[in-house]
Structure 1
Amino acid sequence: MITAKAPGKLYIAGEYAVVETGFPAIIVALNQFVTVTIEESHEYGSIVSKQYQENSLYWQRQGDEMVFDNRDNPFHYILSAIRLTEQYAHQAGKTLRVYHLRVNSDLDSADGKKYGLGSSAAVTVATVKALCAFYELSLSNDQLYKLAAIAHLDVQGNGSLGDIAASVFGGWVAYRSFDKQWLADIRPTVSLTELLEMPWPSLSIELLTPPAELSLLIGWTGSPASTSHLVDKIALAKTERQADYQNFLAASKACLEAMVEGFRRNDLAQIQAELRHNRAILQDLAHFSHVAIETPILQKMGALAEAIGGAAKTSGAGGGDCGIVIIDRAIETEALFEQWRANQIERLNLAVHLVD
């Protein structure tokens, strides 16, 4: 039996701008995982998720094609990852086989709460990793990122793919998105094997080392957010308020470059200052786009953290989900967590996951 896992993620800074080619963000991988297991089968295969037992899929082979018994399913990212990885395996001369694939995720709570930790990216990466082990394919992390990014993009159609980078590389990641139009143009002209080996324009993935005194706190507001819905609203504002949007991009880029420099210089104060700066930049974006990035409860969470010396902001698209705090670990935080609980903010006791 083959087992592979991939971590969830949270955005630290650079949200919304990162969907544009070459614009930076900082993302962190967390120690909550999607686990995929694969066991060879013979007559028929299956795809089963512990979270979605009633939607299990059963399939057979017709040549190299996977043929499914039931068409309406929630497993689009898994199927896209299988399709792309098996295409790569086929080009590598591997014989495609039948197997049972099982998925289990601890990115959401046991009672079904959605924390916004990037489960679609993690399940895509874990599926690709498991199939690469199953078919004995040796991929570098760079190639694994590219294969999973294509699979994810084929389903979602937009986004930065930074969550894929976090799930593949782990730790603290400084990320700039590749040129998606270039990818769309070149895909029909080269093999998948060639595509994974060539450099992708504007793509940059740099692992960062945080200062030893840096502590990351995560609070969940109890209201899941629809990232795709919020991104669609920002896309509309991009068209209608072009000058404002370009100013937002420039400000975000300068802020993130300064924050990355703070990591390189081991400077907690600079990292905190730029996190606050990024929060203000996102508030400007929210104002001219009429998108509620900071909900009242996220504002409350941030105010309570700032009062004891933490730097706080929303994480990801906002509109709910998680807020983050970067604080000196020498500062006592138990009273803060009590205030969060009194305001219906759940502390997620998670740690940064480093890939071995």
Structure 2
Amino acid sequence: MVETGLPAVIVALNQFVTVTIEKSADFGSIVSKQYQENSLYWLRQGDEMVFDNRDNPFHYILSAIHLTEKYVLEAGKHLSLYHLHINSELDSADGKKYGLGSSAAVTVATIKALLAYYQLPLTKDKLYKLAAIAHLDVQGNGSLGDIAASVYGGWIAYQAFDRDWLQAMRREASLAELLDLDWPQLRIELLTPPENLQLMIGWTGSPASTSQLVDKITIAKAKKRAAYQNFLQQSTACLQTMITGFKQKNLAVIQKQIKRNRFLLQQLSDFSHVSIETPLLKKMCNLAEDFGGAAKSSGAGGGDCGIAILDANQPNHKLVANWQKHGIEQLALSVHNVTW
């Protein structure tokens, strides 16, 4: 969980969502290769999208479409019907959910595809802002760091913006004006890791809900204000030192701060009574530390994946074997650097 104005380090991975659009004459559709039985069909009444079926799994896509089309109208373009096709690599072929931020990726991909379709150029900064608004309209909470990873790629020093300010400004400014503004507290800086840094990702097989975990922490921080403020102060110092480690290309500093971050999250879990590190995530992290690495739960925690940072000069096959022995799957993922 990332609080407004406090730092985080985020990494984008080489798994993708692809969205394509083709013009249609009679009706529009939204079709996902993964969810073909839930394809969504729609018509146009004026500038409004009208859906044939109310119950659909495409909330983030629909939010992205709604917001982007508002931006398209502000730019003086006419809206049309189209077929929008989605293909995601973020889950396994047999339907396993890896917790890789698929909602953020599909939001960004949908907006990029629509803007290309309507021939409207957009910078990365504006794409992030548009996707962040669309994502917030559905989820209502979260740091939006996964949006930044989908837009910018690579390793990122990230700091969340002031959501209260955004909510107020949406009533005062047009969408185009809002995208042009500097958002208070927002910071997105690309980082270059040390050459000997190796990222490994372990999947525990248990799903996690970011929204629900953030809600529980929000309740806990209201009851334990002093403990939570101390956690934030300690976490800020930890992440600032870690970012310095990236800038100095110092793997040892990065690993030390990842271990520190894990310890602080354990303290947060203790006083909030929220399970951040499941037993299998704990085993995954401990095995990586026994191997000489540093590890922690990824994202909001509570399940799904953990990350391990190791020295690339050391062979990792024994760690992979130990993970497998305990039911932890190494995901064949690497860092993705955006080039557009």
Please state which band the TM-score falls in when normalised by the shorter chain. Answer: over 0.9
1:9 match: none
Query: Which amino acid in 1 is paired with 2:146?
Result: D
2:199 match: 216
Work out whether residues 60 and 107 of structure 2, in 8 Å CA contact, stay in contact via their aligned partners in 1.
Answer: yes
Query: Which amino acid in 2 is paired with 1:263?
Result: F
Among 141, 162, 171, the alignment partner of 2:145 is 162
Deviation readout 1:185-207 (Å, 9 max, x if unpaired)? 11111110110011000000000
Secondary structure of the residue that 1:211 maps to in structure 2? coil
1:277 match: 260
Deviation readout 1:244-285 (Å, 9 max, x if unpaired)? 010011111110000001001111100000000000000000
C-alpha displacement of 1:319: 1.6
Query: Which amino acid in 2 is paired with 1:319?
Result: G
Equivalent residues in 2 for 1:278-293 (5 A)?
278-293=261-276
In the alignment, structure 2 segments of 5+ residues that lack a partner are none
1:24 and 2:24 equivalent?
no
1:310 match: 293
Secondary structure of the residue that 2:16 maps to in structure 1? strand
Deviation readout 1:151-203 (Å, 9 max, x if unpaired)? 00011111111110000000001110110000111111111011001100000
1:266 and 2:269 equivalent?
no
Deviation readout 1:197-255 (Å, 9 max, x if unpaired)? 11000000000000000000000001111221211111111011010010011111110
Secondary structure of the residue that 1:173 maps to in structure 2? strand
Secondary structure of the residue that 2:98 maps to in structure 1? coil
1:328 match: 311
Query: Which amino acid in 2 is paired with 1:185?
Result: A
In the alignment, structure 1 segments of 5+ residues that lack a partner are 1-15
Equivalent residues in 2 for 1:101-180 (5 A)?
101-180=84-163
Among 316, 330, 337, the alignment partner of 1:347 is 330
Query: Which amino acid in 2 is paired with 1:265?
Result: Q
Could you state the TM-score of these two structures normalised by the residue count of structure 1?
0.94
Query: Which amino acid in 2 is paired with 1:42?
Result: A
C-alpha displacement of 1:332: 1.2
Aligned equivalents of 1:36, 1:268: Cα separation in 2: 37
Identity of aligned residues (%): 68
1:202 match: 185
Query: Which amino acid in 2 is paired with 1:224?
Result: P
Runs of 4+ in 1 over 4 A off after TM superposition: none
Aligned equivalents of 2:278, 2:63: Cα separation in 1: 34
Secondary structure of the residue that 1:30 maps to in structure 2? coil
Pairwise CA RMSD of aligned residues? 0.7
Deviation readout 1:116-143 (Å, 9 max, x if unpaired)? 1000000000000000100001110000
